[in-house]
Structure 1
Amino acid sequence: MRKKLLAFAAVGLMATATMTACDDSSNADSSSSGTSTIGGGGSGARVGVILPDEESSNRWRDEDPKYLEAAFKQQNVAVEIRNAKGDRAAFQQIADQMLNSGVKVLVIANLDSASGKAVLAKAREKKVPTIDYDRLTLNGGADYYVSFDNVKVGELQAYGLSKCLESKGAGNPIVAQLNGSPSDNNATLFKDGYDRILDQQYDTATFTKGPEQWVPDWDNDEAGKIFEQMLKQTPQIGGVLAANDGIGNAVIKVLRKYKRAGSVPVTGQDATVEGLQNILTGEQCMTVYKAVKLEAENAARVAITLFKGEKPVVKDNLKDPESGAYVPFISLPPASITAENINDVVVVDKYISQDTLCKGKYLQLCKDNGVGTFADDKAKNDDNNQ
């Protein structure tokens, strides 16, 4: 796994070498519109980036803005990065402001396909090229799409859950599923992936299919309420396929309430600090790491090429299931993360810093699991115990 992630990082560095990035500017908060702005300013030739929210995953607040800004800055291309904070009307207002004030390329991670499609249509009217970032806007007609192999993400979650259940010796456990937002095409792709694996387990009676529900807008509070109701109706639930780390943490909070955290395997996705800490405590069995830095660098590469009036080289295409059109697609590989290979995130890619992960009560757990600088100590202890 470590060699594989190092290879991914090398691809990202190669992509960065062909890029051009943003002016040196400070963070500002557009509180009047409920949005956040990073870099670029509000006028002139630049690339516009609209991110969806700050609640469905910490990445939209902490990781994507940082890596996108750095990628544009490295090549000295101005960028304006704003976050709609879950507000569909604000998402469209931000797009209008950008398109009316000199944005030459527009990059969006939509809140849903309907509002995303409206934004992409306005960009086409102004002849501004567009990139779907992370989430495909169904029937939206974006010029390019940069994301991960999202079906593979779901498959990794199902394989991870299966392995965790087998290690616990669970006999035909009831598996609950909390899917992501029904308005997010990625959530559908994740589900396609894990259903492919879990359906085989259900068909062979290895597992029993339990309650299943979508979580509107990836709302973690709502996910907790949904799961608590599931658990009351089906108290024998033995495993939970949670679509991301936020939903997984909501499930874990409920399991703690009923003194079952750690005994019921729970999946996740995004390799958030919270998700990794839950893995260290044994309350979450795995997460899926999607190298956001690599995704941001590839999106920036395409955007900067378009900004310069050139045509990006993108080898693959993805068929939009609604329109039937093929969108030039940069597909990036995800990776499964457990306690055994958590250093691939912390040490190899430096996606999460050791200091951030190992705070407070998690310090001893980091030592026990050989995270970062504690790896040699753990190896010595293991040798002494043999």
Structure 2
Amino acid sequence: MNMKKRIISLVCIAALSLGLFAGCGKKQEATTEAPADGKKEIVIGFSMDTLKEERWQKDRDILMARAQEKGVKILIQAANGDDNKQIAQAENMISQGVDVLMVAPHNAEVAATIVESAHAEGIPVLSYDRLIKNADVDLYVSFDNEKVGNLQGEYVTKMNPKGNYVYIGGAPTDNNAHLFKKGAMDVLKPFIDNGDINLVYEQMSKDWQPSEAQKHMENALTANKNKVDVVICANDGTAGGAISALAEQQLSGKVPVTGQDAELAACQRIVEGQQVMTVYKPIPKLAETALDLAIKMAKKEEVKTNSTVANGKIDVLSYLLEPVVVDKDNMMDTIIKDGYHPFEEVYKNIPEDERPAK
């Protein structure tokens, strides 16, 4: 042993004997400060399309509460409909070394870039509620979104199996919007084919904007001289826009309108008779299930799924939850019973002597 190596060796031995440092002579690896129990903190990133809608604010709040309950850290950023911003925010979380990245994409196609960036750093991606298209997504957690459309179509065809129908969809960039429409059209097709239902107008609504839906409804009423018998709206926001247009023609409450998401305003419209139904997708169950599965992914534990969904590139392993029809008759047994909205808020415009018993 030459003199230089001998000196280094003696220094290492002395330092170790004094407990000054460990690993002398070895390459030191960067480490993350661990909690008191010695385990590395799990960090989940969540890239959201928007926080402009009540529904997505609920997702955020429930995920934050669940993360605290489970003792993990969650980073949440929302792009509010800006694709470039969402990509930049996701890449920021990737650079911070999140263990798993959850993504609710604004644009199902563009978000494939996020998956590629995450995978390049060895980070798995969970597609949250909305499916990312044409990418090697690791897991998809959502509701059976074609069934959402089925439920809307089945509800109104039982009410009005004949007549002029209008379909107002969601954002063309959101894969879920296409699934909702497919589900509804699968139900309507036999009625259309035998001539009982005339689909007199159908349009998608940019970024799910109620103002877009209102314009579509105005155009549909003008084109058909107000002779519209049913309006299927893909969510409650678009339903609100359509109902505003119907109200201008004194048709609110006379033409059945569907929705989805069980937003407070929609639940109020239902008990007041302006909207016939919504599809309730219990957000607490979705958010809590997604976070629990993301934690399993972070720990590299087995993740149980119950379906696969094709995204144009692969059949994505999926965990799909069941949506529920809510109307005036079962509002108490669903929305109120689950504590999703307070009784007093849902029925605030209903005279007390006409409200159901708590």
Q: 2-side partners of 1:367 and 1:190: how far apart?
A: 38
Instruction: Tell which structure's C-alpha radius of gyration is larger.
Output: 2
Q: For 1:255-292, what per-residue CA distance to the aligned partner results, in whole angstroms no more than 9, with x for missing partners? A: 11111101111000011101111111111111100011
Matches within 5 A, 1:60-139: 60-61=56-57, 63-139=58-134
Q: 1-side partners of 2:323 and 2:355: how far apart?
A: 23
Q: 1-side partners of 2:353 and 2:66: how far apart?
A: 34
Equivalent position amino acid for 2:354 in 1: D
Report the equivalent of 1:177. 167
Distance 1:250 1:330, change over 3 A: same
Contact 1:164–1:285 under 8 Å retained in 2: no
Q: For 1:184-216, what per-residue CA distance to the aligned partner results, in whole angstroms no more than 9, with x for missing partners? A: 111111111110111111122222221111111
Of 291, 296, 316, which aligns to 1:327?
316
Q: 2-side partners of 1:257 and 1:244: how far apart?
A: 21
Among the aligned pairs, what percent are the same residue? 31
Residues 1:189 and 2:185 are matched in the alignment: no
Report the equivalent of 1:368. 354
Give ranges in structure 1 of 5+ residues lacking alignment. 1-43, 167-171, 376-386
Aligned-residue Cα RMSD (Å) equals: 1.6
Relative to structure 2, which stretch is displaced further, 345-354 or 112-121? 345-354
Contact 2:118–2:125 under 8 Å retained in 1: yes
Matches within 5 A, 1:218-297: 218-234=208-224, 235-297=226-288
The structural deviation recorded for 1:223 is 1.2
Report the equivalent of 2:49. 52
Equivalent position amino acid for 2:330 in 1: N
The structural deviation recorded for 1:358 is 3.0
Q: For 1:134-156, what per-residue CA distance to the aligned partner results, in whole angstroms no more than 9, with x for missing partners? A: 01111122100000011110000
Contact 2:83–2:106 under 8 Å retained in 1: yes
Contact 2:236–2:261 under 8 Å retained in 1: yes
The structural deviation recorded for 1:45 is 5.3
SS, match of residue 81 in structure 1: strand
Q: 2-side partners of 1:300 and 1:115: how far apart?
A: 24
Equivalent position amino acid for 1:316 in 2: S
Contact 2:217–2:246 under 8 Å retained in 1: no
The structural deviation recorded for 1:367 is 5.3
Equivalent position amino acid for 2:289 in 1: N
Q: For 1:42-72, what per-residue CA distance to the aligned partner results, in whole angstroms no more than 9, with x for missing partners? A: xx851101121134x42112x1011111221
Contact 2:306–2:320 under 8 Å retained in 1: no
Distance 1:155 1:369, change over 3 A: farther
Contact 1:161–1:286 under 8 Å retained in 2: no
Report the equivalent of 1:337. 326
Q: For 1:90-148, what per-residue CA distance to the aligned partner results, in whole angstroms no more than 9, with x for missing partners? A: 11111111011121110000001232111111001111011000011111221000000
Q: 1-side partners of 2:42 and 2:102: how far apart?
A: 14
Report the equivalent of 2:9. none
Q: 1-side partners of 2:69 and 2:144: how far apart?
A: 27
Of 333, 339, 345, which aligns to 1:350?
339
Give ranges in structure 2 of 5+ residues lacking alignment. 1-40
Q: How many residues align?
A: 317
What TM-score comes out, normalization by structure 1 length? 0.79
What TM-score comes out, normalization by structure 2 length? 0.85
Q: 2-side partners of 1:65 and 1:95: how far apart?
A: 16
